[in-house]
Amino acid sequence: MTEHQIDLLKLLGGLAAVLVAASLVGHLLQRRLSPDGSNAVVENLNDRVNAWWVMIILMGGALLFGRMGAILLFGFASFAALREFVTLTDTRRGDHWALASAFFLVLPLQYYLVYIDWYGLYSILVPVYAFLLMPIVSALRGDTDHFLVRVAEVQWALMICVFCVSHVPALLTLQIPGYEGRNLLLIAFLVVVVQSSDVLQYVWGKLIGRTKIAPKLSPSKTVEGFVGGALSATLVGAALFWMTPFTPVQAGLLSFVIVLMGFFGGLVMSAIKRDRGVKDWGHLIAGHGGFIDRLDSVIFSAPIFFHLVRYWWSLT
């Protein structure tokens, strides 16, 4: 077993211990406050904990298999997220070719390019070539009703669900002096910091939240919850500096940036849901909605984190 696999197992063991404690607390709260399932806060907490168990097991198992495991896991997540996104768009028969191209050409090609580490192409495949391909394919079908809106929806779906998400396994391709063979820990660091920020913002919001940030987009998000959660997650990231090639201060600064991007990503995705008139992107994960509901904060933070790490080392 390699050193990075041992470090990853230590991290997973720590997360498992936290989830065991959270499960026990949730069980006690349910027995005392919600024996009939009537307390929404307690039930939501237990649903979140149960979903976290599933996600940690799936992600931990995939990451232990290295680059191929990560590519397959996030490739599947992109496919599921793209399906959820497209389900909420106003597609017509004339969009079928474009959608087929998105699912069965652009998506697998993007992840293949990440796998072979062709940065020069996977960094522009979606925002350049796919953005040009989608309207061409749709125009060939001759359906002009709401053409611009329909094309933009497919382009945005690819950008969100494929391009941004693919930057998570792309972290494995980075060449960092003195950090060889440990890149899997960068993925774990990104996911733990961003997801812990979501949880901590929820907890702080329930404890002291008063001032709504964007009540029309996400009524549960408060200034107090955001500040408390962001600062707490930044401290978590600084404490996990050993997973990265950075010092505690550098890890804390990076954590603060990705926490901010994760928060803004959540707001943007909430705005899209409100525009579509839905509460969740899907119902695959109890207590967490669909794949996009779990990935919304990672979506915006992943490419930022990738490029900060990539160019940090090229400039030093």
The pLDDT confidence band at residue 160, using thresholds 50, 70 and 90, is very high
Residue that wins the pLDDT comparison between 165 and 184: 165
Q: What is the pLDDT of residues 63-78, one digit of tens each?
A: 777 788 889 989 999 9
**Hey, what's the torsion of the CAs at 234, 235, 241, 243, to 10 degrees?**
-80
Cα gap 186→111, rounded to integer Å: 18
Q: Are 67 and 114 in contact (CB under 8 A)?
A: no
Measuring CA to CA, which residue among 298, 63, 20, 3 is closest to residue 163? 298
Q: What is the pLDDT of residues 214-259, one digit of tens each?
A: 888 888 889 999 999 999 999 999 999 988 999 999 999 999 999 9
Q: What is the mean pLDDT of the chain?
A: 86
pLDDT-wise least confident of 41-55, 130-144, 231-245? 41-55
pLDDT attached to residue 2:
64
Determine the average pLDDT of the residues in 128-141: 93
Cα gap 53→240, rounded to integer Å: 21
